Amino acid sequence: MGRGSWSNKRTVEDCMSISIKWLSQHDYFCGFKTGGIQWKDGLGKVTDSIGIEASVDQRNEDRNYLRIFYTQTDYFTKEKKEYDYKIPIITTSCNYGGIRYWFKCPLTVNGNYCGKMVGKIYLPPLGSYFGCRTCHNLTYRSSQEHDKRVDEVMKNPYLLRAYMESGKSSKNLLALKASFKYLKKE
C-alpha cells in the first residue's frame, strides 16, 4: 500500500547474500569447514552457487576468515572470470557469556577501506565482490514502498479527517478512509 518505488537504489532482496546466522546454523564456526551455497528461483531451480571455506580459531582471531570462490560469466562477452578471496571474521563478547561472530567488510569505496562489522554481506547483480549494504549502496524494498503518512493515520485516525479537509489527501489515505468507520463526530 505504498507510494511505489521512489528510489533507484538496488535492494538487498535483489542480491545474493551470506549471513553469519546461516553459517552458524550450518556449523561453519566449528574450526574448519568447506561447503557451498546455492540460490534458487521460485521454482526451485538453482540460479547461482558459490564455494565457501570457513576457518575459525578461538585462540587467534587473526586467523578467522570466510573464503569465497566462484566463477562469473560476462553476459555480453561470455568471458569467464574466477574469484577467490577471504572475508575476515571477527568476534565480540556477549554480555552473558559466549561470543558473537561478524564479517568485516573487505571492500574499498572511493579509496576508503570499509572494515565495518556486519552480520550479512551481499553480492548485487552484475557485482564482483561480496560486501556490506553500505558499500554497495543498497536499500530495503520495504523502505522504498513504505508511506510514513499511513503510519501517522493508523496511530491517530483523527488525522485522516484533517487530511481530508485540507484537500492534501493522497490515494493511500483515501483507501484508508474505508477502514476508519468510527471517525470522531464533532
Residue 125 has pLDDT above 60, yes or no: yes
* pTM of this structure: 0.70
Q: Residue 1 — pLDDT band, cuts 50, 70, 90?
A: very low
Q: Which of 60, 65, 62, 59 is nearest to 29 (CA)?
A: 65
Q: Say what the pLDDT of residue 170 is.
A: 55
101: nearest Cα among 170, 45, 27: 27
Residue 107 and residue 47: Cα distance in Å, rounded? 25
Rounded Cα distance between 119 and 111, Å, is 23
Q: Indicate whether 45 pLDDT > 50.
A: yes
Domains in the chain: boundaries: 10-140, 147-177
The count of C-alpha atoms lying within 13 angstroms of the C-alpha of 85, restricted to the half-sphere facing its C-beta, is 12
Residue 133 sits at the vertex; the CA angle it makes with 128 and 135, to the nearest 5 degrees, is 60
Residue 68 has pLDDT above 80, yes or no: yes
126 vs 1, residue with greater confidence: 126
